[in-house]
Amino acid sequence: MVIVYILVAILVFGIIIMIHECGHFAAAKACGVRVNEFSIGMGPKILRKRRGDTDYCVGLLPIGGYVSMEGEDDNSNDPRAFNRKPVWQRLIIVCAGAFMNLVLGFVILILVTSFSKGITSTEVAKFYSDDAPSHLSGLEVGDRIIRVNGLRVFCDTDISYQFQLDEDRTFEFVVIRGGEKVTLPAVRFDGETYEDGTQGLVIDFMVKGEKVNPLTVISYSSRKLVSVARMIWLTLFDLIRGRYSINDLSGPVGIVNAIGDVVGETSQGVAFGEMLMDLMNFVVFITVNVGIFNLLPIPALDGARAFFLIIEAIRRKPIAPEHEGMVHFVGFVLLMGLMLVVTVFDIMKLFKG
């Protein structure tokens, strides 16, 4: 089964990387830039086919990919070179990969939502009991939750996210009640202790479901995409602030293990359709993560290249290619070092598990 998990992970990564690189490739072609090589995978080439002025390749290692453009890392006199194009076109090309990752996430969300039995809203439908703590502390049937502890609620997962950050089982809710905005400063919940000794809260209400139709599917998928993207940003900030440690990060090994947990659900009695939906939701998280992470101004990532282009637009003069290249090289080495450390932690987690 481990081989199956690895193959599924390779397929997932391959699709995400291919979509990302296709974004760069399509934008480069649209802007008239000469693409010398388009590769899916890294390392020795196992497939190579030349079409026009571009080599299309497949690398042995399914851990990345790239689009090599004329004049991308040096000064080229070719009129179709990347460095000879206006800054705004180069920005589009650099950001197109991340944009396509977000588009992929949106498309998958539309598919998953379309095949769901119903769409979860944020409107309270009922309480499990008349003496439910959240009801006694102010929440009412028909309330549409729009904020929890200051966080704007786009969809049901935003409420769950805030519940996971619980410290005292008391939350500030902002709801729409009778067409008006109402603030509930202290909505309380009961707690429970799990078998492993950890504490959790008891959610004592249900929310309404919406019918699946084109309008609700598009609306929910859009809001869910924004929610996932924001959750990733918040997690990054929490990592910087020290709420999470490097031990909480996951690299390729950790992701393969997580995919294994999802795919392995079928052996635990979970229907194949449900497992597939869980896997698709996991792919959404990964592809949005890849898109956002690539836009960070970290050397060797698309975000850093965009940052250098913005500086060029401001000072009306490009940064020396050798200087920018050195920054990206150092960044790449550091990223590889981080990936190695994260992979070691992932392997340690597997042995502990």
CA dist 319 → 102, 307, 343 (Å): 29, 11, 34
Over the stretch 122-152, which tens digit does the pLDDT of each residue have?
A: 999 999 998 999 999 999 999 999 999 999 9
Domain that holds residue 139: 119-210
Residue 248 pLDDT: 65
Domain CATH for 161: 2.30.42.10
Same domain, 38 and 104: yes
The first and second tokens of residue 136, run together, are 């006694």
Same domain, 10 and 105: yes
Same domain, 91 and 128: no
- How many whole angstroms separate alpha carbon 88 and alpha carbon 94? 10
Residue 270 pLDDT: 62
Find the mean pLDDT for residues 151-176.
91
Annotate 214-248 with DSSP letters as a single string.
HHHHHHHHHHHHHHHHHHHHHHHHHHHHTSS-GGG
The first and second tokens of residue 60, run together, are 């042995």
Q: Which residue has the higher pLDDT, 274 or 222?
A: 222
Residue 2 pLDDT: 63
Same domain, 133 and 198: yes
- How many whole angstroms separate alpha carbon 84 and alpha carbon 32? 11
**Residue 191 belongs to a domain:** yes
Same domain, 9 and 93: yes
Enumerate residues 6+ apart whose C-beta is below 8 A from 136: 188
Contacts 24+ apart (CB under 8 A), 269-276: 273/115
Range ranked top by mean pLDDT from 191-200, 220-229, 311-320: 220-229
- Residues 39, 22 contacting (CB under 8 angstroms): no
Same domain, 26 and 125: no
72: amino acid identity, one letter:
E
Same domain, 14 and 105: yes
| Beta carbons within 10 angstroms of residue 13's beta carbon | 23
Q: Which residue has the higher pLDDT, 100 or 280?
A: 100
- Residues 236, 289 contacting (CB under 8 angstroms): no
pLDDT beyond 80 at 229: yes
CA dist 48 → 38, 41, 59 (Å): 10, 12, 9
End of a domain among 173, 193, 210? 210
CA nearest 146: which of 171, 167, 173?
173
Residue 332 pLDDT: 78
| Beta carbons within 10 angstroms of residue 288's beta carbon | 26
- How many whole angstroms separate alpha carbon 41 and alpha carbon 25? 15
| Beta carbons within 10 angstroms of residue 89's beta carbon | 18
End of a domain among 210, 239, 269? 210
Over the stretch 237-282, which tens digit does the pLDDT of each residue have?
A: 877 777 766 666 666 666 666 666 666 655 565 677 777 888 888 8
Residue 61 pLDDT: 74
Same domain, 90 and 154: no
Number of domains in the chain: 2
**Residue 204 belongs to a domain:** yes
**Residue 30 belongs to a domain:** yes
Q: Which of 38-47, 50-59, 101-110, 183-192 has the least mean pLDDT? A: 38-47
Find the mean pLDDT for residues 306-334.
85
Share of the chain above pLDDT 90, in %: 49
Same domain, 109 and 164: no
Same domain, 92 and 144: no
Residue with tokens 């896997």: 279
Residue 171 pLDDT: 95
Residue 142 pLDDT: 95
Residue 11 pLDDT: 81
Same domain, 294 and 310: yes
**Residue 199 belongs to a domain:** yes
| pLDDT confidence band for 50 (50 / 70 / 90) | very high
Residue 179 pLDDT: 93
End of a domain among 195, 210, 225? 210
Q: Which of 39-43, 62-66, 87-91, 160-164 has the least mean pLDDT? A: 62-66
Residue 233 pLDDT: 86
Range ranked top by mean pLDDT from 43-57, 209-223, 289-303, 330-344: 209-223
Q: Which residue has the higher pLDDT, 256 or 84?
A: 84
**Residue 279 belongs to a domain:** no
**Residue 313 belongs to a domain:** yes
Find the mean pLDDT for residues 316-335.
81
- Total residue count of the chain as it appears in this document: 353
CA nearest 251: which of 261, 242, 259, 262?
259
Residue 181 pLDDT: 96
Indicate the SS3 state at residue 224: helix
**Residue 22 belongs to a domain:** yes
pLDDT beyond 90 at 155: yes
- How many whole angstroms separate alpha carbon 110 and alpha carbon 41? 28
Residue 246 pLDDT: 65
Same domain, 134 and 184: yes
Residues marked as catalytic: 21
- How many whole angstroms separate alpha carbon 229 and alpha carbon 250? 18
**Residue 136 belongs to a domain:** yes
Residue with tokens 């790239």: 66
- How many whole angstroms separate alpha carbon 258 and alpha carbon 251? 10
Indicate the SS3 state at residue 304: helix
**Mean of per-residue pLDDT scores for the chain:** 86
Share of the chain above pLDDT 70, in %: 88
Residue 328 pLDDT: 82
Angle (nearest 5°) at CA 29 between 26 and 30: 85
pTM assigned to the model: 0.84
> Kind of pairing, strands 170-177 and 144-148?
antiparallel
